[in-house]
Each structure stands twice: as C-alpha cells, then as structure tokens.
Amino acid sequence: MRTWAVRPDQTPPTTLEAFAARFRLALHDEVPPVTLSGITMDSRAVRPGDLYVGVPGARFHGATFAADAVERGAVAILTDAAGLVDATASGVPVLVTVESPRVLVGEMAAWLYRTDRHAPQLFGMTGTNGKTSTAHFLDSVLRQLGRSTGLSSSAERRIGSEVVVSSMTTPESPELHALIARMREAGVDAAIVEVSAHALTRHRVDGLVFDVVGFTNLSQDHLDDYADMDEYFAAKLELFSPAHSRRAVVSLDTPAGATVVARAGVPVSTITSIDGASADWTVSVTDEQPSFTAFTLRHRDLGELSTRVPVIGSHMAANGGLAIAMLVESGIALSAIDDALRRDGGITASLPGRAVQVPVPGGPAVYVDSGHTAQAFAKTLEAVRHLTAGRVIMVAGANGDRDQSKRPDMGREAALGSDLLIITDHQPRSEDPATIREAVLAGARAAKPAGDIREIAAPEEAIRVAVREATAADTILWAGLAEKDYRDVAGVKVPFSVLDETRAALAEAGWV
C-alpha cells in the first residue's frame, strides 16, 4: 500500500523555458537552465525537480511555504502577484501569472505528465449520492471484462491491484494527473474518477476530458461551501461540457436529471429506475435479499440483461444499471457485459462502507453504512425496511464543520424510516457535539413527535442500547461512520471503529 502522493516513475524532462513559453508566462528574472520533472501545490509533497505552485489558501498563501518547497527539492516556483515576495525569497526561478495559478495548474499538469495526449479511457462520476457506488461498479465490471483498471474514489485510490492512501474525494489537479500518468505506466487501460462539486469549482479535474461521465442525482449537501442549491448544481453541470467530457449518461430519478440533459453540451443518454418513466435505459428490480439486489437493465433499442449487485437497495440497482449503461455508451457491447456478469453471478464489486452487513447467525440483521445525507438515510432505510420482519432500529448522527442546514432533514428521514432512532455523536470536529445532536433531534422530533427517539452522546453506548433493544426479527442500521478507524473530536483523531464496536456490542449481548 502506497501513501499519497503517487508519481509516474518516468516523466519526460521539460525545460522551465519551454514550460514558460507554452503557457505564456514571464520569468521574474533571468535564470540558468532548469529542468522540470513534476508539479505540485503541496509543499509537503515536493520532490526534487518539481515546480511548486503557491496559491492563495483559506488561511495562508501557498507561496509562504516556498522556502520549504525549495528545501525539499523544488527547482522553480509558480505564483501570483500576492505571492511574489515570498517566492522570490526562496532563491529559485519564479514564474508569475496574472490569473489564479489554480485556474492554470490542471492544464499545466496535463502537459507536463502528458495526460492530455496519452491517458487511459476515462470515466467520471458526479451527483450527490451514489458516486462512489457507481464508480466501484464501473471498476468491477471493467475488471470482469478483463480490463486493467485504475480508480479514484472517496473510498479508495487504486492502480491495478495497488492501493493508494488518500483522504480527498478528488485530489488536486497535479496529484490527479500524476496518478493517471502512473496508471498509464502500470498498464491501466481504463480509469474511473469520482468527481465532486468541489473538484469542479476548484479546478481539480481541469486538463482531463472524460470519455463518458455519469450523473446520479441531486439533493441538499455542501451548503457550507455553496450559497444555495443552484450554485451547488451549477458546479456539477460543468462536468457535462466539452471541456470535461465527450458524452454522458444521466439518471432521471431526480428532477435535476432533466436539467442536466437540457444544459449538457455533449451527447446524452438517459436512464431511470422509476416505474413508468421514459428514458433510453430503464432499471427494474426483480429481487431483494439481505446479500444482493437483482435487476433487469433494458435499452429501448439494444436489448436487455439481468444481473445483480452484492448490496441491498433499489438505489444500488439503479447505480449498477448506470455503470453498465456508461460502459455500453463507451463502446462495449451489451452482450459482452452480459456474458461476463452471467459467468460471475453478477457484479462482484466490494463497496467500502456501503451497507456493510455484520453477520449475526440467528440474530438481528445488522448493517453499517457511510451515508451522511438525508437522501442517503432515506434510501438505505427503505432498502432495510423491505428486508425486515420486525423493527428497524437506527443509530445516526451528523458530522461537524459541514453543511449545518441539512441536519434537520437528516433527522427527519431517520425518524420517518425507523421504529427506534438513537441520535449519537459522529465526528464533531471543531463544533460542540451537543449542538450537532440538537439540530438532528429537532428534525426527527418534528417529523415524528410520538416516535421512539433517544439521544445518547457516546456512540459506544448508542450501539449497545440498539443491540440490547433488538430481537432476531429486527434490523439495526448504523449510518454515517462506516469504514472509519477514528473520530475527529476537537481536532484530535480518536481511535474508533464502527465495525469493532458493533461486533463487541453483539458479543456482549450474546448474539455473537
């Protein structure tokens, strides 16, 4: 397992003079010949031969760290007028741009790493919910077809079978281009990138043109960073322009899908899982079991296939159908995909943190899930309800330092979809955890005044209460923290595992 950041082993050398000429940049002073071998916006990730790009940040200007970058091996600095003094003081050649360096750096990285000319087939995913699941379904089906794949999602980065550690949904553009260049070196012929709204607003996918992009849905999120839903949606729409993609598959399952189709600047195919709705592709669920969801995918002209995804929920079937439709739109025959999925018994993806089942022989069904939006709560609870003979017990909470306006909606959906709801702490970060719980509880109690809704601050105790309350006919869903090995409390990463705590609670109650 590698740690971030990944670079190609070989980068064609480029002189600073040629680089400056290509992007019409003036060198601040006359300089001796310099050769560039990489580019980065993170002074901590600098390698010898790098161009360090100092951009304005939330608290500091990146040029403040120019000296640190030079100490690590940076041979030149790119910055704006505000960073010129610090950059010049570093003692290496300085390139100055009138525009924000962030606007230019994606194209620069593409040119330096040659990803604008030599890249694997590229698939991009955006939407509020379902991006990660669809990305992993794409990756799985491609591998089942014998392709060598690369993946960049919020859950995982991977180059073939090599896993790369990172924390950002979409890495900064220099790191993303370096990752794709490394994939190319490793023989990857298809790469999937999860594209967040922030990635588009902050130019993280600049310089990439995806062969096929997909849109899942739109619901409230990230209003801590965007003024309103229109601004948030507008950020995502940028992916459906010729600057970023060649064609698209768009889900019509939320009203935003029709807007994407109307505004897209590239050819679009449509897909829906809503009964009676019209689209090029339709997804129909045929069976739901605790370990899989089966569905049939039909195209109005190309035919159909029937398969399954190894996770619960009609929304997951919709994501699986979207992934297959994207592959067909990329030029892969539907019949070839059908043959591979029949051979393997369905899509064989492993989805980190998505409705992970904790085996409890003879006991309640138990799932942990990483969903942290109101829509994610609603969809997963709906899937759980279909499979539950008894009560649905939910343990839920919200994260700190994120969109506060969505917390009451999360509480509302959690209350409406469960029979017993326990609100607990997740990752409060710098916020007061009691304030976070209060907002979620307000939405829950307003939606279900007579409901069994409890507040238990400590998540270790919350899951134990849920387990003690459960019978063999019930289902427990713990949403929001799956696959984490810590909780961020007041800036301290406290070791914590949802899966370990769940298993411990089940053992203490005698279920396991």
Question: Which of 314, 344, 374 is the last residue in one of the domains?
Answer: 344
* Mean pLDDT estimate for the chain: 93
Model confidence band, residue 403 (pLDDT cutoffs 50, 70, 90): confident
**What is the mean predicted confidence (pLDDT) over 387-416?**
95
CA distance 172 to 186: 21
CA dihedral 281, 284, 286, 291 (to 10 degrees): 80
Residues 510, 363: contact at Cβ < 8 Å?
Answer: no
Span of 165-169, 261-265, 329-333, 354-358 with lowest mean pLDDT: 165-169
Q: What is residue 3's predicted lDDT score, i.e. its pLDDT? A: 45
* 394 contacts: CB under 8 Å, gap ≥ 6: 377, 381, 414, 417, 418, 420, 421, 422, 476, 477, 478, 479
Partners of 479 in beta bridges: 369
* 439 contacts: CB under 8 Å, gap ≥ 6: 398, 404, 407, 408, 411
User: Is residue 256 one of the residues assigned to a domain?
Assistant: yes
CATH of residue 476's domain is 3.90.190.20
CA distance 494 to 145: 41
CA distance 422 to 206: 43
CATH of residue 333's domain is 3.40.1190.10
397 shares a domain with 481: yes
Closest by CA to 203, choosing from 182, 165, 175, 166, is 175
182 shares a domain with 50: no
Closest by CA to 479, choosing from 409, 441, 422, is 422
User: Is residue 208 one of the residues assigned to a domain?
Assistant: yes
Q: What is residue 166's predicted lDDT score, i.e. its pLDDT? A: 60
**What is the mean predicted confidence (pLDDT) over 451-460?**
97
208 shares a domain with 318: yes
pLDDT: which is higher, 224 or 462: 462
480 shares a domain with 434: yes
Q: What residue type is assigned to position 341 of the chain?
A: L
Q: What is residue 402's predicted lDDT score, i.e. its pLDDT? A: 86
Angle separating helix axes 374-386 and 314-329, nearest 10 degrees: 110
Closest by CA to 317, choosing from 393, 379, 381, is 379
Q: What is residue 286's predicted lDDT score, i.e. its pLDDT? A: 98
129 shares a domain with 59: no
207 shares a domain with 95: no
159 shares a domain with 38: no
Range of the domain at 37: 2-113
Question: Which of 113, 139, 174 is the last residue in one of the domains?
Answer: 113
294 shares a domain with 386: no
Partners of 494 in beta bridges: 487
User: Is residue 351 one of the residues assigned to a domain?
Assistant: no
User: Is residue 350 one of the residues assigned to a domain?
Assistant: no
Could you tell me the pTM of the whole model? 0.91
Give me the residue label for tokens 């696959």: 483
CA distance 229 to 311: 30
Reported as a single tens digit per residue, the pLDDT across 87-145 is: 999 999 999 998 889 999 999 999 999 999 889 999 999 998 899 999 999 999 999 99
E strands present in 157-277: 157-159, 162-165, 190-194, 212-215, 248-251, 268-272
Is the pLDDT reported for residue 13 higher than 90? no
CA distance 137 to 331: 17
CA distance 296 to 277: 15
Written as six digits, the tokens of 197 are: 């709204």
**What is the mean predicted confidence (pLDDT) over 210-228?**
80
Q: What is residue 353's predicted lDDT score, i.e. its pLDDT? A: 80
CA distance 133 to 137: 6
238 shares a domain with 143: yes
131 shares a domain with 25: no
Burial of 386-401, coded b for 16+ CB within 10 Å and e otherwise, reads ebbeebbbbbbbbbbe
CA distance 428 to 491: 9
Closest by CA to 215, choosing from 283, 124, 133, 329, is 124
Model confidence band, residue 480 (pLDDT cutoffs 50, 70, 90): confident
What are the two backbone dihedrals, phi and then psi, of residue 104, each rounded to the nearest 5 degrees? -100, -25
Residue length, the chain? Answer: 512
Is the pLDDT reported for residue 4 higher than 60? no
Q: What is the DSSP letter of 191?
A: E
CATH of residue 69's domain is 3.40.1390.10
415 shares a domain with 372: yes
153 shares a domain with 58: no
Residues 253, 279: contact at Cβ < 8 Å?
Answer: no
CA distance 11 to 29: 26
User: Is residue 412 one of the residues assigned to a domain?
Assistant: yes
How is 247-268 classified by DSSP, letter by letter?
-EEEE-SSTHHHHHHHH-SS-E
Partners of 250 in beta bridges: 215, 270
> How much is the CA Rg of the chain, to the nearest whole Å?
24
* 357 contacts: CB under 8 Å, gap ≥ 6: 290, 291, 365, 366, 367
Written as six digits, the tokens of 77 are: 């600095």
User: Is residue 349 one of the residues assigned to a domain?
Assistant: no
Question: Which of 113, 132, 153 is the last residue in one of the domains?
Answer: 113
Residues 133, 214: contact at Cβ < 8 Å?
Answer: no
CA distance 194 to 196: 7
* 161 contacts: CB under 8 Å, gap ≥ 6: none
Reported as a single tens digit per residue, the pLDDT across 35-94 is: 999 999 999 999 999 999 999 988 899 999 999 999 999 999 999 999 999 999 999 999
Coil, helix or strand at residue 95 = strand
Residues 106, 204: contact at Cβ < 8 Å?
Answer: yes
Coil, helix or strand at residue 203 = coil
The count of domains in the chain is 3
Written as six digits, the tokens of 377 are: 């709560």
